Each structure stands twice: as structure tokens, then as C-alpha cells.
Structure 1
Amino acid sequence: MMLRKPVPLLRGQRRPFHHPTFSYRTNFSQSCPFSWNAIHEPYDYTRARLMVNENHEMAIRRVKFNMSELGKRAAESVAFSHDQCVNVKGLPDGMFNKAFLFTMQDGTQVVGKVPNPNAGRPHYTTASEVATMDFVRNKLNTPVPKILAWSSNASENPVGAEYILMEKVGGIQLNKVWPRMNIKQRFELVKTIARYQKAWMSKSFIQYGSLYYSKDLQSNSGCILVNEDGSRFKDDRFAIGPSTGRGFLDDGRIDVDFDRGPWDKLYGYKLAIGFRELACVQEMPQLPRSILGLYGPGTYRRSRSKKIAAIRDYLRMVHFFLPTDDSISSACLWHPDLHVANIFVNPENLSEVVGIIDWQSTEVLPLFDHARQPYFLDYDGPPATGLDPPDFPRDFDQLNPDEKIKAERLYLNMSLATLYRKLTYGKNKRLFKAMEFQQTSSFDMMLFAQNLLIDGEALYRARAIELEEEWSCLPGVQASGNLPFPLQYTTGEVRSIHEDADKAIRSMELMRGVKESLGELWPEKGIVPLERYDEVRELLKHVKTDLINQLANSEEEKTGWDKAWPFDN
């Protein structure tokens, strides 16, 4: 199918103290103290626009609070009076929080963070983030901002919202320097991060969930920690409680009642994921839209019954997916989003990490769920799977200048990922074993089941049937005495499942065509920069019109494709 190609596109230092200016909605700055309550820019999500269900998405990113009181708390957190806070600046919006930089009369700076409604359940998300940062900073010797003040109860503090006040991290964000770092500098940084990952594994837990202070949970029983040598000790100050992970919150899951933990056993945790997806599919008034495929007339048709069937397949099989090596199932605390914007480095020594931020939604999970290369090593190309360095392109001399630049960049990225694997193999065998488990069918079947609410049920069921051929080789099956394959389907049911899978692939191919038509304007996760919104919206309209004209053979089919279009009109 040929879709219309996009039209070709043409291609400071903060002043510390100054009078009110609002030159850009997300870059406001204002002297303190004064009443912020009449100004509503700080409360709305202003960093980007959303192309899917925007009214709802904007609403769950809006939070109103008393900015004057937050500034006062910021000043008090560093032993200043409220009138000694002389400047406040809005930091770029995150998807789940508002952030602000407060500057005191002597130049001391404090970062304030206010969670949006979509950040997590009241109390739990903030309480867990604070306890996690404390534990990582003081128990796992990782450079994390010091918490100065916080509240997880919006109704009992004068700010009128949950908040966290913390030290401002020194150094410079890694994303500012990463592009100009050579491979030696990058690898030195990778080694630094690997040392912190090893520190995170130095203490594990005996439950899965998220970390809290004991006093912030109804059960004040403390937690059991396990050292690397297997010895155990009790810490009364911390406790494992309900998960604050994004998988238990996003796409409407935050409003559904299901088991959020904590869990004493790995099997109980993995079962809870299936029952979570089942509860959401059954109870949500409307299934969330997917932008992985275009599900219109003649393609795969999503339904609750098909999703439920896939989830039940998972629940029947999950026990056999679990690894038999307990060392890679240990409950570890891990940073959930280790990308270049969350790592701060010393500008004079780029391999020195001076701060790691954004510990919100951190979970204590089995090591094999955490064990992936840091996100800042991700790239668009073949994954690094071995320990040997990649081959340099043999036809490099025949490439044009632009192709050579891309080839060199890909080779650098592949080499760095391989170096990380080799370093992990040599210095952290347990983590490497966990990474290897991620290459198995067992892990894939657990991973893809985590988002069946949104998409993938057709391919999941087809893959589950194919799993019968390798069933006896799965570690969990061997440990259970080679029990028979648990899924039994008639010939007609198998044929129907494979037909659905073929139609789902067709649906994804159609969406892939839309994505290619938009090129760099594609709204990843439905998000587009403010300055590109009108352009993307107009282009999506043209692509939609072209697609309907090419695929619809009747007025009824035109209506069907119009309803199937996932983006806002």
C-alpha cells in the first residue's frame, strides 16, 4: 500500500534574579515570594501535545497546588525564611510530574517535585519514591539527591498536593555530552554504571513489590534483607509494600482494584500480573486504544473475549516459565529508567557519575526482570548477543558520506553494547545469567503477557500453541517432571488462532506504513512537540484519508476505518 509521503521540512544561561517574565509557558521564572495562585501555567502539562485521547491525557497531567506554600517549604528545607527564596523557575514537564527550581538568597538551590494524578496512587507513589532514594543513597552507596522535605498526604499539608523537595544535583546531564564522547569515555562511564548495578545487587529482599518506610504502611513489620553471602538481617526502618510500577498504573489500570502486592513468592507475583490484566479487561468500561496496529474492516478485531483467552493461556503456563536458578530470581531494587537524561556526570571527568535521578515507580523485582543493558546504550539496530566485537562493514568504502556516518555510529553503538556484555560477564556473572535468561522463550512469554490489556493477544495465543514443540526443554517443565503441555485446542480452534495472528500482523503492517509516511513526525507513544502539533495533525488527516480511500470498498467499511483510526481527529 502506498501512502502519501510527508512534505519535506526545513531545518542560555538562566538569569538568577529578575522580574516576572512568561516568555514560554514551561520556562517561567519569577521572584519569590508572591502569590502564584492566580497563574495556572505551573499546573498544566505544557511540554508537548498528545495525539490520542488528548483531553483525558491532559486532565490526568494537571495538578493544582499552592505554589507560594511550596516555595516557603523549599526555603525552610534549607533553613531559610520564606522571604529568602528569591527565584523560582519551572523545569521541563515530565510525563508524570511537575518540577521547579527554587533559588535562595545565597544561591542555594532546591528542586521541588509535584506528582500529577497519573503518577500513581495517592500516598504510595511519593512515600515509596522517598524511601527508595534514602535506601539507594545510604544503603547502596549510589549518588542520589538528598531528600530535604516531603509529604505524601495532599489533604494534610498547606501545599495542597503531594511533594518532594530535594537537593539539586551537580554536574551536567549525560544527554548534553553523550553525543561528543568517544568510545573510551563512553566505556569508562559504562564501567561506572556497572559498578552501581553490582552495588544494587549487594542487598536483596525476600519479597517483591516496592520499598517504603515501615511507618508509612499499615503493617509496621520491617523487612528482611539478604547479603551477597546469603546472611540475613532485619531492617525495621524499611518495608516492602504494594508495587508502584508503571505496569500497575498506566492505561487506566490505576483505577482498577487488583492485587498490587507485596508478594512472598515469585509465582505469586507472576500470577498477579495475569490477574491484573484479567481484571482490567473485564472491568474497564472501554478497552484502551492501541497504536501498534490498525484494526479495521478485514483485519484483526480486538475483543475482550480474545484478550481473556490469551490471559488465561498465560495463567495456565506461567508456573513452567519460572527459572530454576534462584540466584537470578532474587528480589532486587533497580533504577527503572536509566537513560541519558537521568544521569548527571562531572563535566571535568565524564566517567564520574555525580547523580542519578527519577526513582519514581521503582520496584523490587526478580533480578531477571531488571537485567537489561542501561537504556542509554539502546540503539536502532541488531542487538548485541555475544561477547565478540561486531564486524566492521565490509563494504564501508563503497558507501556514500551519509551512509558512512550512519555505519560508523551503528558500529560504535554495537561495540559499546558488546563491551557492556563482556564487562558484565567478567565482573558480574549473576547479572549476566539473568540477562541470558531474557533471551529465552520463557522470559518472552512472561514479558509480553504484561501488556495484553493493550495489544498482542492474537500473536500471544499463536506463540503459546507453537510452544508445545519446545515445551519439554523449558526449565520449569523439566523441574516439574516433564508434565504434559497444558493447552488443548481443537483443529478448528488452532486454525482460528493462526488466522487471527495473520490478521494482527496485517494490522501492524498497516500501522507501520502510517509510521513510515510520517517519518520523523511520527508521534512516539502518541506524543508530539508543541511546535510540530499542527503539522503532525494535518499530515495524519491526509494519511487517514489516503488509507481509507485505498482500503474501504463501501460506505460501511469507510465508517469502520474511521472508527478504527486511533488518533484524535
Structure 2
Amino acid sequence: MIPGYEFSLDFIGVDDPWIGVDPDMGALRQIVCETFQISESDCGAAIRVGVVKDAGYARAYSFSLPDSRRVIARLVAPVKPLFKTEGEVAAMDFVRMRTSLPVPKVFVYSSEANPVGVEWVLMECMPGVELREAWKELDYGKKARFAVDLVDMYDQLSKLRADGCGAIYHSTRRSTDIISTATPYSSQIIRSPRWKPLSSNSIRSLRANCNHSLHDGDGLYEIGPLQDGALLQYQVFVPSPSQTPPVFSTADYIRLLAYNGFPSTRSSYDKPTRDKVVELFQGLHALYPHHPLFGPSADPFIFRFCHGDLHHRNILIDPRTGKITGIIDWECAGFRPWWTDVAGVGWLAEDKERFLFGTCRPNNFADDKSDSLIPGSDSCLRAFFRIELYKRNPDLFSCFLGGVEKRALLHAATDLPRPVGESEIFLRLYDEAGYWDRSRRGPFPFDMTAWQWTQITLDEMEMERIANAKKAVKVSALV
């Protein structure tokens, strides 16, 4: 339960998934030494890297090795055990072998119980600094170089296609474990090795839930349970793999995320809001019956591989040039509608400037410099990024600009429940501000007034429930 929020039945998760978890760093250090065949005296102590806070899906540590080398150990919180780690490693292997993108190489990993006490991934240390740290110090030329690399990343990932939405997993049907014989320093690792072979129970679980083959010709991968960030929010109920299976239409993808799994894990208090966001999305979806990117007929063609959590902490760059040197944290990666991910990163993420997100009204770039004719201005950089998108692939440009409304509805559908979440307020603002233009789009998809009366009734019921619970506590205290 989130402190200070006594209402909403949905808050049944935890504030911090690391509570009660105490990783054995000594055991981890021994594994580093075994993997790289070095003595303990040649292995440095674990140094925390990245955002130093307890809450989060993962913790990263750096170990120094001989010859000034470093290796990163990523410790994984016990959220969606087995599947989240297996999906993240498979995603990195898949992208690294099918693109030229700078994705860390995984030396060895464990997705089951082991001496460290948590799942972990031992991987290559990528060069560069986080985008968020370097951006303000970059001149226009370096920012433009970053923009070109970002477009290239979107374009390369868009070439990786599937016929449905889901995370990617190594197939367990070819042999129990396909492990490369390459050394940790080799660049020829095709399938990242597990620290120990999977148990029979884990193999059965993966086979039961990851049973849709990726038609890429080599049979190395399966599509399985979705790992979208909205389904990994440890503050609320995290649905099981069987509740988040692959889906094969955009409409089913939105429903699965909005209801936090199937069957729905939303409470009776929160579900009516999700119902209406889904209904609104379906109404918008139906307005594009033959559109190659946004309509129902596009479903067989628009499911592309997406990072799923791309932000300015997950991209590393060379501050001397602006070049992207690393793309990290692939735990939410998978196949999903193309328009969900082509949204820019950091300063280049324009969605909230152009459309209503939560309760944030669009700012229309009011903070940018107004003179678009000034070379190197903010407006010039935005124009450059859009032009590069269009030049590389017009569909990228369409996803970036035309997908903003759908991304706003997806954001509302997957929001946390009240009182933290703002989906109910979003729906009212969306209607009041006229985002659904009735003169062009026809009637609004549902009766807003009737829904608002439903919400008032639910609020009254929830407050009565809280009052009765408080009375019961007082009575029990007196007894």
C-alpha cells in the first residue's frame, strides 16, 4: 500500500520490491571471478552505478577487472520472476544479432534461485554517459548527431517484425540450453549462456507460456507474455505470465494493458474508468479503418520490436560527439504497435507539448525560442529531427506525429488507480477541451454524463467503505 493513500482497492503491491531482499555481494563477486577466470585479488569491489535508490526493478554494480576493464552486474528485483530476466536477456541477444545498435553483450546470467539471492545478469560495460547528464552541454551539431542516431535506432528496430504483441524469449524447444562456446571476451556469443541449466519446472513454465513461434526462419525465439512497464508496476498487483499472454490485435493489446491482465486485476472501483478509456480508444481506432498504421486493418503489419522504456537514462552517448554509444535496460522490450514507441527521447519527446497527457495541457513549445530562423535554435533542432524521420522512413514520421493521441489514450488506460492516477480527470478534460471534434468525428463514443454519475456513486461507496473500516478498527480496539 502506498503511504498516505487509504483509498483504492488496487494498491495491493509494495513501495519497494527490494524490501526483505539482501543480495549476497560476496557470492556475486565470486561468480565474476569464475566467469572471467581471475583471482579475487584481481577483481575490484562492487561499485553502485546509475540511480542510487532502493526502489526500482534493478540495481547495477560495476566490477573492475585486469587491464582496466569493467563489467556490469545487474541485480533483478523479484518482480515477475524468471520471465522478466529471460525476456530481457533474449531481447538484448535478438537486437544485438539483428541490428548494428550498441546493445550490451551478456556474459552469463541466472533467472532462477542462486547463491546471490536474486536473479542477475553479468554484462558488458558500455561506454559513454547518460543522455540526461550530457544534453545541456551539447552544442547544436552534437545534438543533431544524436538526433540522427535516434532516428537510425527507430528505423533499425522497425525492421524487426512479428504477427502479434508480446515479449521475446529464447526457445526451449530446440535443446534444453543452447550455449555458445565462445569466451566471455569473444564477440561471437549468439545465445547468452545461463549460469546453470534451467530447472525442469522453469522449462515447463516457459514452454507453457511462450508457445508462439517468431517467424524469423531460425526457430531460436518464441513470443510470450507481455513485459510492458504498465504490467510491471510493483505498487499494484503484478499479473502472472498466464494473465498477460501474447495478443494479436491492437484492440486486445490496449484491453490487456488497461485491465492489468486478463482476467482483469482492476478493482470494481477502478474498472469503470478503464472501461471508458478502452471505449474511447476503440472509437478513435475505428476512425482509421484503412489506415496503414493506425487502423484495424493495419494490425498484421505494425507489430514491430520496441525498447518499451526508452528515456534519457537508458541511452548513453559520447559527450564529445553526441553519438549514441549504448542502449540499456531492455526489461520492457517486445513486439507492440509501432506508434507506441516512436515518440522521441528526453528533450526530443514532444508528446506533452502537443497533446493532453494526464492533467497536463499541451504547452505548444512555449518554452522554446520563438525565432525559428535562428540557426541552431530549439525550433531548428525539432525541425531537423522531424525531417530526418521523414527522410529515413515516412512511416516513422507518421508514427511520431500522428500517434500522439493514441499514445495519450494508452497512457490514460495504463495509469495507476486513483487517487494517484489521473485517468478519470483526463477523460473529463479530453471531452471538455474538445479533443473529440464532433463536427468531424461524429458522436462521442459514450455518454460522459452517465459515466460521471457512476463515478460519483462509486466515490460515495468507497468513502462509506473507508468510514466503516475505521469504525470497525475503533470497536475492535475497545474490545
**CA distance in structure 2 between the partners assigned to 1:312 and 1:267 by the alignment:** 8
Contact 2:165–2:253, Cα closer than 8 Å, also in 1: yes
Q: Which residue of 2 aligns with 1:337?
A: 309
Q: Is the 8 A contact 1:258 1:275 kept in 2?
A: no
**How many Å apart are 1:363 and its aligned residue?**
2.8
Aligned to 1:279, which of 240, 258, 264?
264
Query: 1:259-296 CA deviation, whole Å, 9 max, x = no partner?
Result: 3121123332223234437823327xxxxxxxxxxxxx
| Distance of 1:57 and 1:355 partners within structure 2 | 30
Alignment check: 8 A CA contact 2:82 2:112 kept: yes
Instruction: Provide the residue aligned with 2:336 in structure 1.
Output: 365
CA shift in 2, pair 1:314/1:377, >3 Å: closer
Equivalent residue number for residue 451 of structure 1? 415
SS in 1 for 2:127: coil
Are 2:290 and 1:324 aligned?
yes
Give the drift of 1:210: 0.8
Contact 1:140 1:200 in 2 (8 A): yes
Deviates more, 1:127-136 or 1:174-183: 174-183
**2: CA distance, partners of 1:172 / 1:308:** 39
Question: Does residue 61 of structure 2 align to residue 100 of structure 1?
Answer: yes
State the shift of 1:354 in Å: 2.1
> How high is the sequence identity, in percent, across the aligned residues?
21
Q: 1:84 aligns with which of 37, 42, 46?
A: 42
Q: Which residue number in structure 2 is paired with residue 71 of structure 1? A: 29
Structure 1 position 131 matched with structure 2 position 90: yes
Q: Which amino acid letter does the alignment assign opposite residue 67 of structure 1?
A: M
Structure 1 pair 393–345 and aligned structure 2 pair: CA distance change class (3 A):
closer
Instruction: Describe the SS at the equivalent of 2:313.
Output: helix
Deviation at 1:132, TM superposition (A): 0.6
Match runs of 1:40-51 below 5 Å = none
CA contact (8 A) 2:126 2:326 kept: yes
Structure 1 residues 468, 142: CA separation in 2 closer, same or farther (over 3 Å shift)?
closer
**TM-score normalized by the length of structure 2:** 0.70
Q: Tell me, what secondary structure is at the counterpart of 1:138? A: helix
CA distance, structure 1, for counterparts of residue 213 and residue 311 of structure 2 = 30
* Structure 2: gaps spanning 5 or more residues: 173-202, 356-361, 457-462, 471-479
1:110 and 2:110 correspond:
no
8 Å contact kept, 2:126–2:325: yes
Q: Residues 225-266 of structure 1: CA distance to partner in whole angstroms, max 9, x if unpaired?
A: 4xxxxxxx4331111110111111213131578731211233
Match of 1:151 among 110, 121, 135: 110
Partner of 2:251: 267
Q: Which has the larger radius of gyration?
A: 1
Change in 2 beyond 3 A, CA 1:321/1:444: farther
- What is residue 322 of structure 2 aligned with on the other side? 351
CA contact under 8 A between 2:211 and 2:224: conserved in structure 1?
A: no
Q: Supply the RMSD in Å over aligned alpha carbons.
A: 4.3
Out of 214, 223, 245, the residue aligned to residue 171 of structure 2 is 214
Cα offset, 1:337, TM superposition: 3.4
Q: Please show how residues 520-539 of structure 1 align to structure 2 within 5 Å.
A: none
Mapping of residues 413-424 of structure 1, within 5 Å? 413-424=378-389
Deviation per residue, 1:93-138 (Å, 9 max, x gap):
3622111111224433111011123xx3001111111111111111
Matching residue of 2:144: 187
CA distance in 1, matches of 2:451, 2:401: 30
Within 5 Å, give how 1:403-418 maps onto structure 2.
412-418=377-383
Question: What per-residue deviation string (whole Å, max 9, x for no partner) do you get for residues 482-540 of structure 1?
Answer: xx8764x5xxxx546568999xxxxxxxxxxxxxxxxxxxxxxxxxxxxxxxxxxxxxx
Other-structure match for 1:224? 214
Q: In the alignment, which of 15, 34, 40 is matched to residue 57 of structure 1?
A: 15
Change in 2 beyond 3 A, CA 1:213/1:145: same
Paired letter, 2:438: E
| Aligned residue in 1 for 2:232 | 249
SS of equivalent residue, structure 2 residue 29: helix
Q: What stretches of structure 1 of length at least 5 have no aligned partner? A: 1-48, 226-232, 284-302, 397-407, 475-483, 503-555, 564-569
| 8 Å CA contact 1:377, 1:413 repeated in 2 | no
2:101 to 134, 142, 157: 142
The secondary structure found in structure 2 opposite 1:206 is coil
Q: Per-residue displacement from partner, 1:71-95 (whole Å, max 9, x unpaired)?
A: 1111222232445323321224362
Indicate which of 323, 342, 346 corresponds to 1:375: 346
- Inter-partner Cα distance in structure 2 for 1:377 and 1:471: 32
Letter in 1 for 2:394: K
Measured against aligned partners, the alpha-carbon deviations of 1:429-466 in whole angstroms (never above 9, x if no partner) come to 111122233244x5544442222633322542675797
Is the deviation greater in 98-107 or in 454-463? Answer: 454-463
Q: Secondary structure at the match of 1:360?
A: coil
Aligned AA (1:450): T
Deviations 1:363-415 (A, max 9, x none): 31110111211234247984499xxxx99547x9xxxxxxxxxxx99x94443
Cα distance in structure 2, aligned partners of 1:315 and 1:194: 27
Residue-pair matches, total: 399
Question: For residues 379 and 222 of structure 1, do their structure 2 counterparts lie closer, same or farther at Cα, with a shift above 3 Å needed?
Answer: closer
SS in 1 for 2:217: strand
Amino acid aligned to 1:122: P
The amino acid across from 1:223 in the alignment is: S
Match for 1:366: what amino acid?
Answer: P
TM-score, normalised relative to structure 1: 0.60
Structure 2 counterpart of 1:438, from 392, 403, 406? 403
The AA in structure 2 aligned to 1:456 is S
Q: Secondary structure at the match of 2:265?
A: helix
More helix by share: 1
Shift of 1:305: 6.9
Counterpart mapping for 1:551-566 below 5 A: none
The DSSP-based 3-state class of the residue aligned with 2:45 is strand
Q: Secondary structure of the equivalent of 1:340?
A: coil
Distance in 2 separating the partners of 1:500 and 1:413: 45
Q: 1:61 to 1:145 in 2, by over 3 A?
A: farther
Q: Which moved more, 1:216-225 or 1:181-190?
A: 216-225
Local SS of the residue matching 1:71: helix
